Chain A
C-alpha cells in the first residue's frame, strides 16, 4: 500500500510537472561559437555561467562557423525543447545569432512542432510530451545584440576567412536575400546597436561596432546595406529609435524595433567572453524583463 501511495505521488508530481508552465531564456551565439553543442548549460560563448541572464537561462550553442542553414537544426531542437506546450521563451542573440533566429523563424515558424518535455538528452533533443503538436513556437520576444541579419561589409571585402561557410552567409546581399526578414511570425525583434568602432570605418558604412554596421544592427530593410549614424553626425542619415523609418526614408524590417542606439559610442561588438560590450546592454535588459 505504501509503495502504491509513493507511486501515486510520483505520478501526480510528474503530471503536474508536465502541465506546469515554465519560462526559459535562450541565448543563441554568433560567429565563433564557444559553447558545447547540445549542452544548454554551456555558456562558453557568453561568459561565466553563474552570471544572471534571465529566468531559467539556456545556452543554445551552434558551431559559429558553418552555414546558417546547416546549423539551424540545433536552434530548432532548443526551441522545440523549451518553447512548446505550456512553456514559453525569451530569446537573446548576438551577431550571427540574429541571422540564425531570423532564418529559423522565417522558414520554420509556421511549421507543426511536436510538444517537448524540456528534458534534453546529451544531443540537446527533448522527448515528446503527449504526442500532439502546435504551430510554431512560444516566444515572447527576441533581443538582438549587434545583429548581423543584414550582413557585414567585412565579409564582402574579404576581411574575414573566406573559407568559412558562415562568412559567405554574412555577405550583405547574401544575408539579406537568405530569407524574408519581415516574416518573424509577429515576434518582436528588439535591436541593440553598438557604435564603438573606428578600425574598419573605411569599409563599414556609417556607424559600426568594428564588426557590423548600423544598417544591420538597426534592422534596416533593403537588399544591400547603407550608411546610418547617430544624430550627432550631421552628414549621415540617422538610425531612428523604435519602429519609425530612418532618416532618408528607409524602413526597418517588420517587427523590428531599435531599443538601443549607442549615441555615446561606448559599446563594442565583442562580448569578450565576459558578457561585455553590446552583450552587456542586452543582458541587463534581459535580466530586468525575462521573468
Chain B
C-alpha cells in the first residue's frame, strides 16, 4: 500500500513458476470491507512465446487521403496478426482506434495502422496526432490459447507531423464489400416496397429517406 489508500501488487509471470505457461492467468483477491466479504478478479493473458517483435521504427505517410502509421516488425511466426493502436490528438483527446488484421509473412514486415481521411475531416482533430499503447498478437485458428502476444508498446509510440486537414480526403469509404452490402440492401428495399404496394395498392408508398425528395413517389 503506497499510502494513497490503494492496494497494489505486481505479477511478473516470467520470473515465477508460470514462466512457461501459455494462457490466462487469474489473480483472485478476497477482501472484507465494511464487514462484508467480497472478491475481485484480475485476468492477464500470458504467452511465453514471441511470434514477432517490434523494431521500434515507425514512419508515417499520407496516402489516398488518409494518414497511415507504419510500424516495423520482425515476424518469427507467419500468420494472421491483429494489432490495435490508440490515437490521441494534440490536446490529448482520444480520437481513433487504428486497427490491423491481416496476414504477415516471416521476416521484416510493416504493420499499417490507418487513420481514415474522412474521419480526420469530420472529427477535426488538433494535429499532430499521437499513436500510443499498441497491442498485437498472432491469431491462431481453432486452438486455445488462440494468440501469441507481441510485446505491448506502452504509452507514446509516435507523433505525427502537422498537416492542414484539407490535405485529407473527405470521400466516403469505398470497397467491394461495401458495394455488395448496399446492392443487397437496395434489393431488399425494392422487395419490401413491392410487398407493401401489393398489400394495399390504394395507399401511396412512404417517401424514402435514401432518395432525393424529387425522386420520392408522389401520392396518387
Contacts and interface: CB of A to CB of B under 8 A. Distances in A.
Contact of A67 (B82, B84, B144): B144
A69 B41 contact: no
A88 interface: yes
A184 interface: no
B43 A171 contact: yes
B175 A135 contact: yes
B171 to A, nearest CB: 18
B72 interface: no
Interface stretch (B11-19, B125-133, B159-167, B176-184): B176-184
A174 B43 contact: yes
B139 interface: yes
Contacts of B218: none
Contacts of A273: none
A134 B142 contact: no
A138 B181 CA distance: 8
B80 interface: yes
A168 B24 contact: yes
A107 B101 contact: yes
A109 to B, nearest CB: 8
Given A107-B82, A134-B176, A135-B175, A70 B144 contact: yes
Contact of A69 (B99, B143, B176, B184): B143
B106 to A, nearest CB: 19
Given A69-B144, A70-B143, A183 B99 contact: yes
Interface residues of B, number: 26
B107 interface: no
B172 interface: no
B43 A177 contact: yes
Contact of B142 (A70, A111, A138, A174): A70
B145 interface: yes
Interface in B67-105: 80, 82, 84, 99, 101-102
A70 B146 CA distance: 8
B141 interface: yes
A165 B24 CA distance: 12
A107 B139 contact: yes
Interface pairs A-B: 9 shortest CB-CB: A69-B146, A67-B144, A73-B142, A135-B177, A70-B144, A69-B144, A173-B43, A110-B101, A174-B43
Interface of A: 66-67, 69-73, 88, 107, 110-111, 134-136, 138, 140, 156, 165, 168, 171, 173-174, 177, 180, 183, 186
Given A138-B181, A138-B184, 19 more contacts: A66-B144, A67-B146, A69-B143, A69-B145, A70-B142, A70-B143, A70-B144, A72-B141, A73-B141, A107-B101, A110-B101, A110-B102, A111-B80, A134-B176, A135-B176, A138-B180, A171-B41, A173-B43, A186-B181
Interface of B: 24, 41-43, 45, 80, 82, 84, 99, 101-102, 139-146, 175-177, 180-181, 184, 188
